[in-house]
């Protein structure tokens, strides 16, 4: 059992958007953080925005690279001594109508969203199994539940994350390692900023709470799933979408 007074969490895609919101929330909650993202400058800038009496280290690298993920995991282990939580948040989009979708756009989304989640989960799972406790949280999307025109690659990758979550939860449960997914709806981020006002208006009509989500909404759910209050929850997908998917 690791000392929960020194909780260590890895957050991928932590340089901006939902990942940065998660990092801010966890730092304020007292978690020591290993932040991962491809862009080193943005990652360092993100680290400076965190508050709290915690240790924060940055690990730039491409999560779609298995060898790099292994190296980062080993570095985190050496720096912190243990890993309590893993938040697989990093993701990309390459939208386009299916009949026009380039194979390389399909592959890139799969490599980052699905393979990257597999790589980090695969790298961290043995450590957590030896500790006999830990938390893995995978950020999926409601698009992985409903599908969406123009996002066949993204939808498939996010649906794959949900299936991966359920399967790994069954394998790691006996070692007190929980594995859950969060499926955000429309969350205001840099990735959604380029959408037209008409698309945003149409989306808003589908949300009973009549507002778009914020990164803080997802971050609060991550904090709960990492906590002892969620110790008996595993293999689940928690939807955070203002009631959009029913």
Contact indicator for 173, 234 with CB cutoff of 8 Å: yes
CA distance 163 to 173: 16
Other residues' Cβ atoms within 10 Å of the Cβ of residue 126: 11
In whole angstroms, give the CA distance from residue 93 to residue 90: 11
The two structure tokens encoding residue 177: 């390692």
Of residues 59, 119, 154, 232, which has the active-site annotation?
Answer: 154
The rounded distance, in Å, linking the Cα atoms of 205 and 192 is 16
Q: Is 154 a catalytic residue?
A: yes
**Quick one: CA dihedral 63, 144, 227, 55, positive or negative?**
positive
The residues annotated with a catalytic role in the active site are 154
């Amino acid at each position: 059992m690791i000392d929960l007074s020194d909780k260590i969490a890895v957050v991928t895609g932590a340089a901006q958007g939902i990942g940065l919101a998660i990092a801010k929330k966890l730092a304020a909650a007292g978690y020591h953080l290993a932040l991962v993202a491809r862009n080193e400058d943005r990652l360092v800038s993100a680290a400076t925005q965190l508050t709290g009496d915690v240790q924060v280290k940055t690990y730039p690298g491409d999560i779609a690279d298995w060898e790099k993920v292994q190296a980062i995991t080993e570095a985190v282990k050496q720096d912190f001594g243990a890993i309590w939580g893993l938040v697989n948040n990093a993701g990309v989009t390459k939208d386009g109508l299916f009949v026009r979708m380039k194979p390389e756009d399909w592959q890139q989304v799969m490599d980052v969203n699905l393979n990257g989640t597999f790589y980090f989960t695969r790298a961290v799972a043995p450590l957590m199994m030896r500790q006999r406790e830990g938390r893995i949280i995978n950020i999926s999307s409601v698009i992985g539940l409903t599908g969406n025109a123009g996002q066949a690659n993204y939808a498939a990758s996010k649906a794959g994350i949900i299936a991966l979550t359920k399967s790994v939860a069954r394998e790691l449960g006996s070692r007190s390692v929980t594995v859950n997914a969060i499926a955000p709806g429309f969350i205001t981020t840099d990735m959604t900023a380029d959408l037209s006002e008409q698309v945003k208006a149409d989306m808003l009509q589908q949300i009973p709470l009549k507002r778009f989500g914020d990164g803080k909404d997802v971050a609060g759910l991550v904090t709960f799933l990492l906590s002892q209050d969620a110790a008996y929850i595993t293999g689940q997908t928690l939807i955070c979408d203002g009631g959009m998917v029913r």
